[in-house]
Chains A and B, each alone.
Chain A
Amino acid sequence: ETGVTQSPTHLIKTRGQQVTLRCSSQSGHNTVSWYQQALGQGPQFIFQYYREEENGRGNFPPRFSGLQFPNYSSELNVNALELDDSALYLCASSLWDRGQETQYFGPGTRLLVL
């Protein structure tokens, strides 16, 4: 086990609604990244937080936003949900140390948008 936990495990929403997904990082890790994984594909990078600030973002619209808290837990918020947002959402925590970083993934939250 990686020590990274996510909640909830599954979620069903309707188009237009908003959703908040949560992640608890591995102890000692200062960086969290969020990914979207559509069925049959590899994870796609959404954004990364380092010491509570966003320091990198993938090709996702602004309705995808996040937070990282002082205890390094994190949230992913998605507004105005669309059908194509249905996917597995993964968070990964890591320790940024002199440019080296291995990301450890949580089990994911499966989101279904109807």
Chain B
Amino acid sequence: GESVGLHLPTLSVQEGDNSIINCAYSNSASDYFIWYKQESGKGPQFIIDIRSNMDKRQGQRVTVLLNKTVKHLSLQIAATQPGDSAVYFCAEIFLSGGYNKLIFGAGTRLAVHP
């Protein structure tokens, strides 16, 4: 399949370690945020979301933290596995002109080594 994100920043981790992927967003009026995972040759896959009135949300092996003061979002992946290797995008969503505007961040490539 084709590559996604050839020139993106890369986070390299050992299998079994925890991963932390960071994202800065721009709009303080954003209503909620989503993390997507994009594997090579595929479309972005929903991982987890968080509303702007929350600062933490946990899913299966993933935790999202939101710091509205500094407009920062992070995705923590516990016990990282080879199948977690992909490009990860954060997206901020805010209501604009009657529709939800979805703005993607630049993306981070996660490389998991055995």
Whether chain B is bound by chain A comes out as yes
Please state if B6 and A39 are interface contacts (CB–CB under 8 Å): yes
Q: Are A102 and B49 in contact (CB under 8 A)?
A: yes
Q: Choose, from A11-19, A42-50, A72-80, the stretch at the interface.
A: A42-50
Q: With a CB–CB cut-off of 8 A, which chain B residues contact A101? A: 93, 100
**Are B101 and A102 touching (Cβ within 8 A)?**
no
A33 touches B102 (CB 8 A): yes
**Chain A: interface residue total (CB-CB under 8 A):** 31
- Chain B residues in 8 Å Cβ range of A43: 44, 89, 104
Segment 69-114 of B: residues with Cβ below 8 Å from A? 89, 91, 93, 95-107
Residue B42 is within 8 A (CB to CB) of chain A in the complex = yes
Chain B residue contacts of A104, Cβ below 8 A: 46
Tell me the B residues contacting A by CB distance below 8 Å: 2-8, 31, 34, 36, 41-46, 49, 89, 91, 93, 95-107
30 contacts between A and B (CB under 8 A): A2-B43, A2-B46, A33-B102, A40-B7, A40-B8, A41-B5, A42-B104, A42-B106, A43-B89, A48-B99, A55-B97, A55-B99, A56-B96, A56-B97, A56-B98, A88-B2, A90-B43, A92-B102, A94-B100, A99-B31, A99-B95, A99-B100, A101-B93, A101-B100, A102-B34, A102-B49, A103-B34, A104-B46, A105-B43, A110-B2
> Which residues of A does B touch, CB under 8 Å?
2, 4, 6, 33, 37, 39-45, 48, 50, 55-56, 88, 90, 92, 94, 96, 99, 101-108, 110
